[in-house]
Structure 1
Amino acid sequence: MAPAKRPRVPLEQRRSELAETAVRVMARDGAWALTTRAVAAEASVPHGTVHYTFSSKDELLRAVLRRDLNGFAALTETARADAGDDLADSDGSRTGHSDTLTALTALFMAYADHVIAAPDTETAYLELSLMASRDAELRALVQETDAEYAGLLTRYLSDLAEQAGGTWDTDLRVLAALMQSTVFGAAMGWLENRDDDLFRAVLAEAATQFSRGLRTR
């Protein structure tokens, strides 16, 4: 009797599954352990399946980085929706600093929860960023993702200012880069000391400082 054929998996589903598998390999073994063979073995598929699904290892890495970006985008979307509800009083008037602080704090705390829930995964992504400093091709991929992170934060900050009826003291491109460095730096500190209270306190203070840069009309 001929062996049963494996069910055909749609390409996008396969891409998502293999990207998730790649993250699992990195989280367990380190970002440097990510190879197409390691992903194939972890997913229990032929090595050729990985190469059919992704034209190169760079394409696999781009999908891996996209998963991280999508996770952060989901956090900002939830925070933006919540801010839309919270940044206006019951009579429809604009509020300003206090609610902007609430919105930023909510985003930062959601990020802290995200990191604390999956420390090995966060470590793997930070390892990729460090590896990029020595690998020009990987650096280009990480730079693409960083630019999209900055875009997400820029839009989020712009929305907060519009909803609060104000403007930011600092250029949004600079402010977004500073915010990105702050939250990722705080995550790095937590990965080293695993002090949850300190992690959240640092991010709460960061939210306070950032919110003070919003000037309402």
Structure 2
Amino acid sequence: MARKPSAERRRQLTEAAIRAMTRDGVPRTTTRSIAAEAGVSLSVFHYCFDSKQALIESVITTITDHCVEVVREAIQPRSTLEETIRAGFRAYWDHAAAHPGEHMLTYELTQYALREPGFEHLARRQYELYTDTYAGLLDGLRESMGFELSVPVRVLAGYLAAMTDGLTLGFLALRDEKACMDIVDTVTGHVASLVREQPARQAVPGPAPLPG
């Protein structure tokens, strides 16, 4: 049997870890159970990941990528900024409704990292990644739709990350999607109110005409 590239093995093991942690919880998931879930030997796991920290960081990044992929596909520029932002949120909530266990896992990973000595930096990295992701999406929209914000991009990105984080946890507890979408509509309107059009560019004067 042909040996798979290391990067492909890491992806395989990361997805297996997400399934195992979603099913069994983070503390009860072992390297042996992840290897079994992926259908590989324990030695392959240790070849791909030299520590549990490295595995958890890969899990956090991969789960975030799952959401970002569907949002980025949905957040193509529409007739108004509000419609564009709402489409992105709608795609996110569709993913949350379809994969509640995966979203629940993100909170368990945060708590695990904060409680486990030596893992605290993973919780910090997790929330930095959320803000970085929103900042990237906002910068992409600014470039494609041509607008300026009345607040710094990083401030708005942090606000959206905090809003989504809290709203997702509320959704997982209450499973009231309509209430969540009503809040999303409020946030969407607020974000649109922070936008101002770019000032028109002044024409650059051309060379003076030659005397006739």
For the criterion TM > 0.5, the same-fold answer is yes
Q: Measured at CA, do residues 43 and 75 of structure 1 come closer, stay the same or move farther in structure 2, by a change above 3 Å?
A: closer
For structure 1, the residue ranges without an aligned partner over 5 or more in a row are: 1-5, 88-98
- Root-mean-square deviation over aligned CA pairs: 1.9
Q: TM-score, normalised by structure 2?
A: 0.84
1:70 matches 2:65: yes
Choose the corresponding residue for 1:60, options 55, 58, 74. 55
Q: Secondary structure at the match of 1:31?
A: coil
Partners of 1:212 and 1:31 lie apart in 2 by: 41
Shift of 1:150: 1.7
Shift of 1:210: 1.5
Q: Provide the residue aligned with 2:158 in structure 1.
A: 177
Choose the corresponding residue for 1:124, options 88, 102, 105. 105
Q: Provide the residue aligned with 1:90 in structure 2.
A: none
Shift of 1:136: 4.9
Partners of 2:67 and 2:118 lie apart in 1 by: 23
Name the % identity.
Answer: 28
Kindly report which structure 2 residues correspond to 1:110-189, keeping only aligned pairs within 5 A, or say none: 110-189=91-170
Q: Provide the residue aligned with 1:25 in structure 2.
A: 20
Q: TM-score, normalised by structure 1?
A: 0.82
Choose the corresponding residue for 1:201, options 168, 182, 197. 182
Partners of 1:22 and 1:77 lie apart in 2 by: 25
Shift of 1:52: 1.4
Partners of 2:26 and 2:179 lie apart in 1 by: 27
User: Quick check: which has more Rg, 1 or 2?
Assistant: 2
1:215 matches 2:196: yes
Kindly report which structure 2 residues correspond to 1:30-109, keeping only aligned pairs within 5 A, or say none: 30-80=25-75, 82-83=76-77, 86=78, 99-109=80-90
Q: Provide the residue aligned with 1:92 in structure 2.
A: none
Q: Secondary structure at the match of 1:33?
A: coil
Stretch moving more, 183-192 or 132-141: 132-141
Which letter maps to 2:65?
N
Shift of 1:62: 1.8
Quick check: which one's helix share is greater?
1
Shift of 1:135: 3.0
Which letter maps to 2:61?
R
Q: Secondary structure at the match of 2:40?
A: coil
Partners of 1:166 and 1:9 lie apart in 2 by: 46
